[in-house]
Amino acid sequence: MAEIDKTPKQIVSELDEYVIGQTAAKKAIAIALRNRYRRLQLSASMQTEITPKNMLMIGPTGVGKTEIARRLAKIVDAPFVKVEASKFTEVGHAGRDVESMIRDLVDSSVQMEQKSQFKGIRSDAERRADNRIVNILVPATTADGTQKQSGVDFQNLVSMVEKMQRGETPEVPNAQSEEITSEVRDKRSATADQLRRGLLDGREITITMDDPQQDLGMNNMMGQMGIDFGTSLGQMLPKKRIQRTVDVSEAREIFIREESEKLISHGDLYHAAIKRAENTGIVFIDEIDKIIAKTNQGGEDISREGVQRDILPIVEGSQVNTKYGPINTDHILFIASGAFQDSKPSDLIAELQGRFPIRVELNDLTKEDFVKILTEPKNALVKQYIALVGTENIKLTFTIEAINKIAEIATQLNRSTENIGARRLHTILEKLLEDILYEGADMEMGDITITEHYVEEKIGEIASDKNLSQYIL
Ligand SMILES: Nc1ncnc2c1ncn2[C@@H]1O[C@H](COP(=O)(O)OP(=O)(O)OP(=O)(O)O)[C@@H](O)[C@H]1O
């Protein structure tokens, strides 16, 4: 969680690596985040007094609103979810369950927390997993000379349980009592060495593992019944074990996961995840303008305003129950976003407006922005395509004139058809490179340069035909 202490300037400069322009929005979001860090430095009583100032991003579609918020979460390692506000107005939506956004946030937090805890115990889990594999590959030899795998077998287990039911104390068979001959010991240490050096990868091995379907089935069933148990029921039920034949490398990953699960305390994990979501979580509510009531629409309007009223307590700060325990939403950062083409933020119900005091407008993107978006960000589209076809030994290059032409066509199309912002670049590039992507796998094409002429030839005609471009570009 150390990432949270980044200064606003550092955050903006990291955002600059991915998002072009929109400086006002980047600054505002960086300040909102810094204030949260500042708050955490205060005494507990002061902390509860200061609630985070939520933010409203206003701007047309496809200009970077979501991208800024999502990147920010990545930069500071914060749990993040995006929801469409309009989804809660849909007929049949289970009781307009707006709290689901918070539960999704906690799910994402649990995953992040689990990943970081697993990382901390990785070497321990690896050692245990390796032991299990070695024991399978080189089974212990019993006194009568037959081989058997270490561990308690099923019959033993049944008789142990029966004894416990009768109130007796069962004898726990001691794995050490198995005859491990020096020959077995030597063989095991040689195998362990081969395993560590990856020499056994690719060899098949039959393992006994937890049934992955069991948790899935249980979760689906709970979901369908709308039940949220206090703890994950899957953790409490006895695990169904199944046998599977897999590569040694895959078996190792399966065992590392199982051993990691055993090594961590789930109670601590869930507690840490809830704290993390409470203190650093970011919820992005898109299309907030779609839940503004239009006049004279009767029932539909009531439902839209109803959603605003449902969202209000969550944004104001309340407790939401999740299957990992209750979470307090007081300090979660909410970022709402909308185009507000036929409405204004002041059309939202007054209480909700008050909860989003930071307002920023995002600009429409120009042709110059498109040129930069195509080429500059770390994950720029052009770089992605170059890398993709590069896997088939094709060296793809774009001339500056070609990039300019693509940007120009995108700007024109956004004007003549619907304005979808930078999303237009995705559809244009996909169409432009269609042939190369199709034929690349079969042909030795060597170097390919995309010129202005190539761009005109491939998409010029479609772009100038309004009817056609509506469907294709
Ligand atoms: N300013 C920008 N710099 C770099 N890429 C951008 C920019 N604006 C948009 N993009 C790219 O365009 C796509 C859509 O952008 P984004 O999801 O941020 O749209 P949005 O403004 O949130 O719109 P909506 O409200 O419809 O969700 C993303 O792939 C994003 O990378």
pLDDT in tens, the chain (473 residues): 446 678 999 999 999 999 999 999 999 999 988 888 888 888 988 887 887 789 999 999 999 999 999 999 999 899 999 999 988 887 655 446 889 999 999 999 999 999 999 999 999 999 999 989 988 888 876 555 555 554 555 555 556 666 666 666 666 555 445 567 888 888 888 888 888 888 888 888 888 888 877 766 665 555 555 454 444 555 556 678 888 888 988 999 999 999 999 999 889 999 999 999 998 999 999 999 998 887 665 566 667 888 898 899 999 999 999 999 999 998 899 999 999 988 999 999 999 999 999 999 999 999 999 999 999 999 999 999 999 988 888 889 999 999 999 999 999 989 988 899 999 999 999 999 988 888 777 766 678 889 999 999 888 777 777 676 666 77
- Centre of ligand 1 to C-alpha 67, Å, is 5
The finding on whether 278 has its CB within 6 A of some atom of ligand 1 is no
Contact 350, 68 (CB under 8 A): no
pTM (2 d.p.): 0.81
Contacts of 21 (CB under 8 A, 6+ apart): 64, 363, 365, 369, 372
Ligand 1 neighbourhood includes 64 CB (under 6 angstroms): yes
Maximum distance among all alpha carbons in the chain? 88
161 C-alpha to ligand 1 centroid (Å): 59
- C-alpha count within 13 angstroms, C-beta hemisphere, residue 41: 8
Q: What is the ipTM of this complex?
A: 0.97
**Tokens representing 2?**
């150390």
469 lines ligand 1 (CB under 6 A): no
**Residue 373 beta carbon below 6 angstroms from any ligand 1 atom:** yes
Compute the distance from residue 251 Cα to the ligand 1 centre, in Å.
41
CA 61 to centroid of ligand 1, rounded, Å: 7
User: Which of 4, 65, 11 minimizes the C-alpha distance to 280?
Assistant: 4
- Report which ligand 1 atom has the smallest distance to the Cα of 18: 4
Pick the CATH number of 367-464 from 1.10.8.60, 3.30.1440.10, 3.40.50.300, 3.30.2130.10: 1.10.8.60
Task: Write down the pLDDT at residue 94.
Answer: 47
Quote the ligand 1 centre to 19 CA distance (angstroms): 8
Contact 282, 60 (CB under 8 A): no
Smallest CA separation from ligand 1 atom 6, residue: 64
Looking at residue 299, its pLDDT comes to 63
Question: Where exactly are the structural domains of the chain?
Answer: 8-109+273-361, 121-265, 367-464
Exposure pattern of 304-329 as b/e (b: 16+ CB <10 Å)? bbbbbebbbebbeeeebebbbeebbb
Closest ligand 1 atom, CA of 338? 25
| Cα–Cα–Cα angle for 85, 283, 110, rounded to 5 degrees | 125
Task: Pick from 67, 84, 370 the residue to mutate for probing ligand 1's pocket: most ligand atoms within 8 Å of its CB.
Answer: 67
Q: What is the DSSP string of 171-183?
A: PPPPGGGS---HH
Q: Which atom of ligand 1 is nearest to the CA of 63?
A: 8
Q: How far is the CA of 71 from the centre of ligand 1 (A)?
A: 11
Query: Which atom in ligand 1 lies closest to the alpha carbon of residue 420?
Result: 26
**Residue nearest to ligand 1 atom 29, measured at CA:** 423
Our answer on whether the CB atom of 66 is closer than 6 Å to any ligand 1 atom is yes
Closest ligand 1 atom to Cα of 62: 19
Specify which residues 82 forms β-bridges with: 284
Is the CATH number of domain 8-109+273-361 3.20.20.140?
Answer: no
**Which two tokens mark 435?**
């042939």
Any ligand 1 atom below 6 A from CB of 421: yes
Ligand 1 atom 1 nearest Cα: 20
**DSSP type of residue 444:** -
The domains spanning 8-109+273-361 and 367-464 adopt the same CATH topology = no
Ligand 1 within 6 A of CB of 423: yes
Distances, alpha carbon 382 to alpha carbons 293, 353, 385, 388, 402, in Å: 41, 40, 5, 10, 11
Counting from 1 in the atom list of ligand 1, the atom nearest the Cα of 22 is 1
Q: Is the minimum distance from the CB of 28 to ligand 1 under 6 angstroms?
A: no
Ligand 1 atom with least separation from CA of 59 = 21
**What pLDDT is stored for residue 423 in this prediction?**
94
The encoded tokens of residue 52 equal 């985070």
Q: 371-375: long-range contacts (C-beta < 8 A, 24 or more apart)?
A: 371/403, 371/404, 371/407, 372/20, 372/21, 373/20, 373/422, 373/425, 374/403, 374/406, 374/407, 374/425, 375/403
**Residue 320: what pLDDT?**
94
Nearest CA to ligand 1 atom 26: 61
287/85 Cα distance (integer angstroms): 6
90, 255 in Cβ contact below 8 A? no
d(CA 450, CA 104): 43
pLDDT at 139: 84
- 359 has which bridge partners? 56
Q: Please tell me if the CB atom of residue 60 comes closer than 6 angstroms to any atom of ligand 1.
A: no
Supply the pLDDT for residue 53. 85
Beta strands 55-58 and 333-338, pairing class? parallel
Strand segments, DSSP code E, in 229-318 are 241-247, 282-286
Handedness of CA 341, 347, 348, 351 (dihedral sign): positive
